[in-house]
Amino acid sequence: MKVAFTTLACPSWNLAQIIAAAQQFGYDGIELRLLDGDVMEYHRDREKIVNAVNLIRENGLEVCAFDTSCTLNQATKQGQQEQVESMRSWIQLASELQVPVIRVFGGVNQSGSETEPSEEEVHIWMAGELNAVAEEAQQAGVVVALETHDAFSSAYRVARLLDKVNKPAVGALWDGMHTYRAGEPDEEVSRVLGSRIMHYHVKDATHLADGKWEFNLLGEGEIPVDNQLLQLAQLGYDGWVSVEWEKKWHPEIAEPEVVLPQYAAWLKTYLPTLKESLSSQAETYQDHKPE
């Protein structure tokens, strides 16, 4: 597994600072969500994104994903078509720049109307949007990854939606904090999503008495990151582990200068032990295998 961080972590940094930090702290790549502190917009920022990817690569790093704002839970045909067109634009750009993943959201539940749609209805129209771009994405060599987030924090719900698509270029982005908040054991997340996990976001946090969550340095919170990574290793996952420190949305949390080196050091120490853990499990199985 390779290690990256999203630019959500450092809204006050310019691209040169981001690249320098990635190199200094030992990251393998960068995940693009912000540029110059702003959330990326395809039409406004296309040239800036192209230049950023080229500069990142010139400095020996990779761009592992484009974190788009595409949000698929749209009740109207017009809204759904807008998301399809937006995904197509991002897929084309990702293909052009050889960026392997674009992240999309499910979004919040549609509510407030007399005829609130059922989960099944929502899944049908969202699957329609994903199916509309699935073949294009596959031909482009790009994966569309739906994040476990918002109303789709549950891996079970994401799996039920993906069952309606069942295309190799459409999968899941596992945000480990959100499935944990949803009360889902890592082993179950691994089981229901399996090989459809295309990308992984890591962050640690603690659930406070008032119901809020406090973001922590890696290993100091309650998110079982070590077990989540073990589950990924058991699946044979060899993609990216990307640090999503949400400094843009929570300016009060620790500075990236503190967090990013700590997360990198923890991950670079722990990840190499997974091979040994899997080997040990295999030996135990062989020792106790029924005759």
What is the pLDDT tens value at each position of the chain, 291 positions in all? Answer: 999 999 999 999 999 999 999 999 999 999 999 999 999 999 999 999 999 999 999 999 999 999 999 999 999 999 999 999 999 999 999 999 999 999 999 999 876 556 788 999 999 999 999 999 999 999 999 999 999 999 999 999 999 999 999 999 999 999 999 999 999 999 999 999 999 999 999 999 999 999 999 999 999 999 999 999 999 999 999 999 999 999 999 999 999 999 999 999 999 999 999 987 786 665 553 445 445
Element (H, E) at 145: strand 143-147
CA separation, residue 258 to residues 121, 175, 254, 261 (Å): 45, 22, 7, 6
Q: Is the dihedral angle over the CA atoms 95, 197, 39, 14 positive or is it negative?
A: negative
Is the pTM higher than 0.85? The answer reads yes
Look at residue 14 and give its three-state secondary structure.
coil
41 by Cβ neighbours in 10 Å (0-12 / 13-18 / 19+) ranks as: middle
The two structure tokens encoding residue 205: 């946090």
Distance CA 179, CA 287 (A): 34
Phi, psi of 253 (to 5 degrees): -80, 170
**Can you name the CATH fold of 2-288?**
TIM Barrel (3.20.20)
Let me know how long the chain is. Answer: 291
Count other Cβ atoms within 10 Å, centred on residue 111: 8
Q: Which residues of 117-140 are buried (b: 16+ CB within 10 A; e: fewer)?
A: beeeebbebbbebbebbbebbbeb
Sign of CA dihedral 90, 91, 96, 100: positive
Burial class (CB in 10 A: 0-12, 13-18, 19+), 284: exposed
Tokens 């080997």 belong to residue: 279
At residue 139, φ and ψ (nearest 5 deg) are: -65, -30
Under DSSP, the state recorded for 110 is P
